[in-house]
A and B are shown apart, each in its own frame.
Chain A
Amino acid sequence: MSEIICQTTELCKNYKNFHVLQNVNLSINRGEIYGLIGENGAGKSTLIRILTGLAFQSSGVVSLFGKTENLRYERAKIGCTVEMPALYKDMTAKQNLEIQRVQRGIPEKKCISKTLELVGLNNTKKKKVNDFSLGMKQRLALAIALLGEPEFLILDEPVNGLDPTGIIELRELLKKLAKENHVTILISSHILSELNQLATCYGFLHHGKLLKQITATELSEECKRHIKLKTDDTKKTVTVLEEQLKIKTFSIYPDNFIRVYEKLDETHTISKALSSNGIVVEEISVQGEELETYFENLIGGKKYV
């Protein structure tokens, strides 16, 4: 069983009568890239602020690296960016990193140039952060998060302001960190197409509630176009599918649901074949969608995400 790096149990955050987070039960395993998906105002940043100790939960438990109390030492293993890049604007990239290095007690001075190179900011020299583009600021914020080789990286909307090349580079960098350094990553975004190419696990947050937590494999399985079939006799249905209709790719799910991944345009033929064999078809429909559609359906309607 893989080690749980971050877990929340019945986490709630209220501001007077406004419930920002409601009973959030989230779980992130080591090495995962966890995509936190939600609309603006869904509670993503609040959740991240609680995990990083910038805000306090109204109730519930936060567990980091298996500990639930006195999380200061556990938070030292975290690198994070929260909302807008937090940088000293009248200083250079190197000076920004130098301050963070000293503050965190990292003895190795070389880590600054190494991290700047990693995010592609090694040529900024004496240029002040004030003169940086938003993309460069995002990269520098990421460099600060990466300083000291954290075990757990929390990134709040890190692709905001990045150009297409920057987005691809960031994606590759995060994948590399997760694969080679076994860094666990929590990344929040409302750009679903971007998370789709990166995350290994997803959490869907809506109006402060974690609606669903699902792995990328499970999600792609759910999103794959298929015929969803339910009959009164699963065993007999399987025989008909294999022997009469020559269908080889299908899977059986709990509650006797069958997913058929071929002959998607032939629901009528399948239905007819099953009926002629005395099988009652309770449900037959073509399903499967993009992540956006999946999310829209999950939150119960089309909304701007």
Chain B
Amino acid sequence: MFNQLKSEFLKLKYSKLFIAVPLLLFAGLILYGSFSLSAGGTQLFVSEGDEETNAAIQGIIGFFAFTFENIDTPKFSEIMQSCLSCNVFLWIVALILTIQFFCYDYSVGTIKLPIAHGISRVKVYFAKVIVIVLYNAICYFLFNVITLCFTCIQIGYTPNITELTQYLGYIGLNFLVMISFILLCINICICLKNTGIIATVMCLFTLGGAVIYTGIWQNFHSHIILKYLVWLNPLYYWMNMGTFRLEYGLVNEIIVYFVFGLLFLLPLSVIFIKKQEFK
């Protein structure tokens, strides 16, 4: 297994993705920086509920960056909200990295080499998954730390240990969603194999889910089919977390989503890999 992991890391190191992913994240950081520096500061891409609903639930959902009640006395929750909102870049990066890295061996036929050489398909698969998750984790946590530092410096706020732990908890929960999302992408990759088709399907699924959710979020639970489609969508969790709606059972939902990934999507992809024939 160690050899497999090492070879997958080498593939990543020698590939364009190794440079392209940090560049994409850097572009995301520049965009985030431009939000904070722009006039007025506040950046919104939100859906707002009606007054009656707002009384029952928090009245807004979507993308927030630099929204402060009072810029002179900022709250840490507002800083956190801003940073968590910018996680949206990471979903795109995770999608690109997973599809490109996983499908590359399929598209150039190199997936056949270890298998023909007697290396276990499952080992090859797990090595790929581990490398994808680890590289995503490094990028994810680094990006979040940078955005937090940047925002705090910009606003002039010094967070204490409790606040930092809270932030770490939030981004940690969000990363659990990302792991399941990666596993979902990998399942689609194994079934479809074609990078272009997979990217299109996954972009439509991810962005479509976000759009649907902003449309139905107020009476979310009354939509039987759409509700499950949205639950499968990672942006549902990101949007709720970005607006601090954890008290509405979101933590449980995130854990269920993560367990679904580990106990259903992961074994499913192993079954696919074991049954697959390579041409």
Q: Out of B3, B11, B16, which one reaches A105, CB within 8 Å?
A: B3
Q: Out of B14, B15, B108, B116, which one reaches A80, CB within 8 Å?
A: B116
Q: Which residues of A contact B69 (CB under 8 A)?
A: none
Q: Residue-by-residue, is A74-115 near B (CB-CB < 8 Å gives 1, otherwise 0)?
A: 111011101111111111000100111011110000000000
Question: How far in angstroms is the closest Cβ of chain B from A131?
Answer: 15
Q: Is the CB of A98 within 8 A of B277?
A: no
Q: Residue-by-residue, is B259-279 near A (CB-CB < 8 Å gives 1, otherwise 0)?
A: 000000000000000000111
Q: How far is the CA of A294 from the CA of B6 in the complex (A)?
A: 50
Q: How far is the CA of A183 from the CA of B278 in the complex (A)?
A: 26
Q: Out of B108, B114, B115, B117, which one reaches A89, CB within 8 Å?
A: B108
Q: Out of A80, A83, A102, A104, which one reaches B10, CB within 8 Å?
A: A102
Interface residues on B, range: 20 to 34
Q: Out of B7, B11, B118, which one reaches A74, CB within 8 Å?
A: B118
B114's nearest neighbour on chain A, judged by CB, is A103
Q: How far is the CA of A104 from the CA of B115 in the complex (A)?
A: 11
Does A71 sit at the interface, judged by CB under 8 A?
Answer: yes
Q: Is the CB of A103 within 8 A of B7?
A: yes
B277's nearest neighbour on chain A, judged by CB, is A55
Q: How far is the CA of A30 from the CA of B6 in the complex (A)?
A: 34
Q: Residue-by-residue, is A49-88 near B (CB-CB < 8 Å gives 1, otherwise 0)?
A: 1001111100000000000000111111011101111111
A101's nearest neighbour on chain B, judged by CB, is B7
Does A144 sit at the interface, judged by CB under 8 A?
Answer: yes
Q: Is the CB of B115 within 8 A of A53?
A: yes
Q: How far is the CA of A75 from the CA of B120 in the complex (A)?
A: 11
Q: Is the CB of B108 within 8 A of A54?
A: no
Q: How far is the CA of A53 from the CA of B111 in the complex (A)?
A: 12
Q: How far is the CA of A85 from the CA of B118 in the complex (A)?
A: 19
Q: Out of A75, A84, A87, which one reaches B117, CB within 8 Å?
A: A75
Q: How far is the CA of A100 from the CA of B104 in the complex (A)?
A: 15
A106's nearest neighbour on chain B, judged by CB, is B3
Q: Which residues of B contact A71 (CB under 8 A)?
A: 118
Q: How far is the CA of A95 from the CA of B11 in the complex (A)?
A: 9
Q: Is the CB of A54 within 8 A of B116?
A: yes
Q: Residue-by-residue, is B1-28 near A (CB-CB < 8 Å gives 1, otherwise 0)?
A: 0011011001100111000000000000
Q: Is the CB of B108 within 8 A of A72?
A: no
Q: Is the CB of B14 within 8 A of A86?
A: no
Question: How far in angstroms is the closest Cβ of chain B from A88?
Answer: 6
Residue from B4, B118, B119 whose CB has the most chain A CB atoms within 10 Å: B118
From 108 to 161 in chain B, residues with beta carbon under 8 angstroms from any chain A beta carbon are 108-120
Q: Is the CB of A99 within 8 A of B278?
A: no
From 94 to 110 in chain B, residues with beta carbon under 8 angstroms from any chain A beta carbon are 104, 108-110
With contact pairs A53-B116, A80-B116, A102-B7 given, residues A86 and B110 touching in the complex (Cβ less than 8 Å): yes
Q: Is the CB of B10 within 8 A of A99?
A: yes
Q: Which residues of B contact A84 (CB under 8 A)?
A: 109
Question: How far in angstroms is the closest Cβ of chain A from B221?
Answer: 45
Q: Which residues of A contact B108 (CB under 8 A)?
A: 86-89
Q: Which residues of A contact B14 (CB under 8 A)?
A: 88, 90-91, 95, 99
A104's nearest neighbour on chain B, judged by CB, is B117
Q: Out of B4, B16, B113, B115, which one reaches A90, CB within 8 Å?
A: B16
Q: How far is the CA of A100 from the CA of B22 in the complex (A)?
A: 26
Question: How far in angstroms is the closest Cβ of chain A from B12?
Answer: 10
Q: Out of A78, A86, A89, A99, which one reaches B118, CB within 8 Å?
A: A78
Q: Which residues of A contact B113 (CB under 8 A)?
A: 86, 100, 103, 144
Q: How far is the CA of A104 from the CA of B114 in the complex (A)?
A: 8
Question: How far in angstroms is the closest Cβ of chain B from A176?
Answer: 23
A48's nearest neighbour on chain B, judged by CB, is B116
Residue from A73, A80, A88, A95 whose CB has the most chain B CB atoms within 10 Å: A88
From 39 to 58 in chain B, residues with beta carbon under 8 angstroms from any chain A beta carbon are none
Q: Residue-by-residue, is A116-142 near B (CB-CB < 8 Å gives 1, otherwise 0)?
A: 000000000000000000000000000
Q: How far is the CA of A202 from the CA of B124 in the complex (A)?
A: 35
Q: Is the CB of A102 within 8 A of B3?
A: yes
Q: Out of B104, B109, B120, B277, which one reaches A72, CB within 8 Å?
A: B120
With contact pairs A84-B109, A90-B16 given, residues A56 and B277 touching in the complex (Cβ less than 8 Å): yes
Q: Out of A56, A86, A91, which one reaches B109, CB within 8 Å?
A: A86
CB-CB nearest 4 A-B residue pairs: A75-B118, A86-B109, A52-B116, A103-B7
Q: List 17 A-B contacts (CB under 8 A).
A: A49-B278, A52-B115, A53-B118, A55-B278, A72-B118, A72-B119, A73-B118, A76-B118, A76-B119, A87-B108, A88-B14, A99-B7, A99-B11, A102-B3, A103-B7, A103-B114, A104-B114
